[in-house]
Structure 1
Amino acid sequence: MSRHNLLISGYYGFGNIGDEAILDTMVKRIQSAVPEAELTVLSANPERTRSLYGIRAVERARPLKVLRAVWSCDTLISGGGSLIQDVTGRLSIHYYLMILMAASLLGKKVMVYSQGIGPIQKPVNRVLTKWVLNRADIITVREENSKKDLIQMGIRSEKLFVTADPVIDMACPGKALGENLLKAAGLNENSTQKRVAFALRSKDFREQGAYDALCEVVNALLRERCAVIFVPFHFSEDLEVIRRLKVDFGDKIYTLVERHAIQEILSVIHSMDLLVGVRLHALIFSAVAGTPLLALSYDPKIDYFMKAIGQSTFGPVNAFSPETLTQEILFRLEKTETDRAALISAVEDLKTRLDINERELVKLLGGK
């Protein structure tokens, strides 16, 4: 049986739990569907990536190494995540599109895998995206809105498929791992307090007004005798606000400030009664764990995911009322069992779409 050399390009090796969960799930699904595949990943931390996933990894910031990896592969897989967008950085969209273009020009097979497309605001970037993606063999996107946006840009619809975020297929490890971490953080495992986890981005709370609003919510929950826990998802970026809160609230709140494995963080979320999330993959972890969730939106991808699971966002992260948010949290804590049942059903529906990724990949590689 011939080997298939597959190169995966994405936002890997940066310590973002959500993106690492994407890679973890992608690797497992691809290896299951294509056992003869040899996988290589472009990573910011190749040594850690090799250690975690047992596959080859190449330094993503070294142009010659990246080009050599593209030259050596049979097929480039770009994804998942929100790679092709121009709102979080001026250059990132060009980085991912250049890798896709290089693969096409070198005659490689190209698959865009479960990506969330956009927002792409600059007209030149929309033209460039059209030019590059029309040369891809297969494009799968994680929501219907991404497909619509690509069609509006002029991408041919016959190669477009709507699937879901790969992380939705993660297996939940139960609560034991999470309980151990929470105990180490000081939370009494026998407490009957309702547990509310927050997964926030520091950048949304650097302004004093936004931070004060967050503190009002925390104080209100503490008055209601809730256990309030803060969980970082993008470790290097999320700790700033968590550490600031810890200084102001001390032992009244619980924080995770060490790096933890994907399964450990998922288990922590599984141990909660409610997650209040800004980060997309915190919300997806919550859905996978069957933990009710409340979303504050900073990007359309948050709204798209909540719609996919039959819910809506609470509102924008930069314009919430502390009183109203607290009331909604307390209301949701009273109906957790109903919410859990609805989440489990919605997640199962999304999982059925994921098989499209591997079906199309196998076809692309010459299988049936």
Structure 2
Amino acid sequence: MTVIGISGSYGGLNLGDEAILTSAIEQLRAAVPGVEVVVFSRNAAHTRENHAVDRVLNPREAMKDEITPEVERLDLLLLGGGGILYDSEAQTYLREVTIAQRLGVPTYTFAIGVGPLKDRVERDAVREGLDRMTGITVREPSAKRLIEEIGVQVPVTVTADPALLLKPEPFTEEMLAEAGIPRGRPLVGLSVREQGAAAPDLTDAAYHQLLAEAADYIVQRFGADVVFVPMERADVREAHRVMGRMAVSERAHLLQYRYTPRQIIGLMDHFEMAVGMRLHFLIFAAITGTPLIALPYASKVSDFLSSIGLEPRATVSHTTAGTFLADLDRLWDHRAEQKGLLRDRIPVLMERARETAPLALQTVAPRAETAAKAAE
């Protein structure tokens, strides 16, 4: 039996990462019948309950002598996907990779994102870990550029985010009613995130005020209600801060953080437009052909916009309310055009996303053949 490990930011912390894990497991099971999937997760109970996995470990709680035997029995360890190699966290996420490489277990990145990486120690750790990889796939060109910039010699292939391959689950009218979202008026989805190590250039007041003005404009100009969609728990607090600055907050609704990625993709079908910051919020909108406008806070968002034929706009810190509201107005009037663009571009990205698993699994077959010959 083939045993494949997946290590990343899993455990219910972020819907984008959960979408990636769901997709990765589906692809592995489709490609390798009978595969045993072992996930290294930050919340083992959550992963065990919500994903079709065989074994789960929390490497942040387990000791090295507990992790080593689990890594040693793997035929392949996948790192990612998701944007996990960035300042303050990169070395932590490379822990199982380092153990695997010392044990001679092949390692492969699974359409990861990289950066920001400004700390010299983190850059050195990433370069050392990636240079010992059997292969590297990334989800965006900026990740490839950064990997090459820090001196990694292993060739890098740009594929696409695994979450693009997820199928939506219907978000029914009953679910909308249960969530307190009224019908009868157009709905526009909004996403906001907190400042953090993965988005160091954000400032609180600027983007809270900008999104509050945008939300008010959507209500007053388009006659729509706005629905804040948290992609992780911290987004709930940020949404409350934005709603607190709105003039017409009674027309704003906050979804609870309890839905699956597939359900959120299904929710996008109810939106006339999606406005926001989180990468996977935008990916979920694009999957369903929902017109979207982004407030980029990182290169990964700009890269995604470019990949679907949309011109990346200025980052949050360089965006003014006037220009953003004008862009909202323009998108509202040209929603049908963007729907057509997404209809053309998303299948292309999906095909690129399908390349990731086969590339990684090329590593498994030779290893399995070697083991079989040794047993003869």
Normalised TM-score (structure 2): 0.88
Residue 123 of structure 1 aligns to which amino acid in structure 2?
A: R
Matched, 1:74 2:68: no
Q: Is the 8 A contact 2:211 2:242 kept in 1?
A: no
Matched letter for residue 15 of structure 2? I
**Which of the numbers 160, 168, 171 marks the counterpart of 1:172?**
168
* Aligned with 1:222 (options 219, 222, 227): 219
1:363 Cα offset (Å): 1.5
CA distance in 1, matches of 2:72, 2:8: 17
The residue matched to 2:318 in structure 1 has which SS?
A: coil
1:50 is matched with 48
Return closer, same or farther for 1:269/1:43 CA change in 2, 3 Å cut-off. same
Measured in 1, the distance between the counterparts of 2:104 and 2:179 equals: 52
Alignment match, 2:58 = 59
How many residues end up aligned between the 2 structures? 356
What per-residue deviation string (whole Å, max 9, x for no partner) do you get for residues 231-278 of structure 1?
1001x2101122344556553212102411222111112211111120
Q: Give 1:107's match in structure 2, choosing from 101, 104, 108.
A: 104
Q: Deviations over 1:318-338 (max 9, x none)?
A: 332223222211221111111
* C-alpha distance in 2 between matches for 1:217 and 1:54: 40
SS at match of 2:271: coil
**Distance verdict in 2 for CA 1:122–1:245, change over 3 Å:** closer
- In structure 2, the residue matched to 1:138 is 135
Tell me how far apart the structure 1 counterparts of residues 67 and 174 of structure 2 sit (CA, whole Å): 40
Bigger shift: residues 256-265 or 73-82: 256-265
CA 1:255–1:68 in 2, change beyond 3 Å: closer, same or farther?
same
Alpha-carbon distance change, 212 to 160 in structure 1, aligned in 2, over 3 angstroms: closer
SS state at 1:314 partner:
coil
Distance 1:209 1:38, change over 3 A: closer
Higher mean C-alpha deviation, range 73-82 or range 326-335: 326-335
CA contact (8 A) 2:114 2:146 kept: yes
How do 1:1-368 and structure 2 match up within 5 A?
3-55=1-53, 56-64=55-63, 65-86=66-87, 90=88, 92-157=89-154, 159-173=155-169, 176-177=170-171, 179-189=173-183, 191=184, 193-203=185-195, 207-224=204-221, 225-234=223-232, 236-246=233-243, 249-366=248-365
CA contact (8 A) 1:198 1:277 kept: yes
Instruction: Give the partner amino acid of 1:366.
Output: A
Residue identity in the other structure for 2:358: R
Change (3 A) 1:103 1:318: same
In structure 1, give the amino acid aligned to 2:70.
A
**Contact 1:297/1:316 (CA < 8 Å) preserved in 2?**
yes
> Over residues 28-75 of structure 1, what are the superposed CA-to-partner deviations in whole Å (9 max), with x where a residue is unaligned?
011101112100111122122112113121123124243332233221
- Contact 1:18-1:233 at 8 Å conserved across structures: yes
Q: Distance in 2 between matches of 1:316 and 1:104?
A: 38
Please give the alpha-carbon distance, in whole angstroms, between the structure 2 residues aligned to 1:182 and 1:320.
Answer: 32
Compared CA separation, residues 51 and 16, structure 1 to 2 (3 A): same
How far the C-alpha of 1:110 sits from its partner, in A, is: 0.7
Is the contact between residue 178 and residue 269 of structure 1 (CA under 8 Å) also seen in structure 2?
Answer: no
Q: Give the conservation status (yes or no) of the 8 Å contact 1:13–1:48.
A: yes
CA contact (8 A) 1:272 1:291 kept: yes
Distance 2:210 2:140 in 1: 32
Report the more deviating stretch, 21-30 or 334-343.
334-343
Unpaired segments ≥5 residues, structure 2 = 370-376
Distance in 2 (alpha carbons) for counterparts of 1:138 and 1:346: 27
1:202–1:36 Cα change, 3 Å: same
8 Å Cα contact 1:217-1:323 kept in structure 2: no
The answer to whether the 8 Å contact 1:113/1:141 transfers is yes
Give the superposition deviation at 1:132.
1.6
Code of the residue aligned with 2:25 in structure 1: it is: V
CA distance in 1, matches of 2:193, 2:174: 25
SS in 2 for 1:177: coil
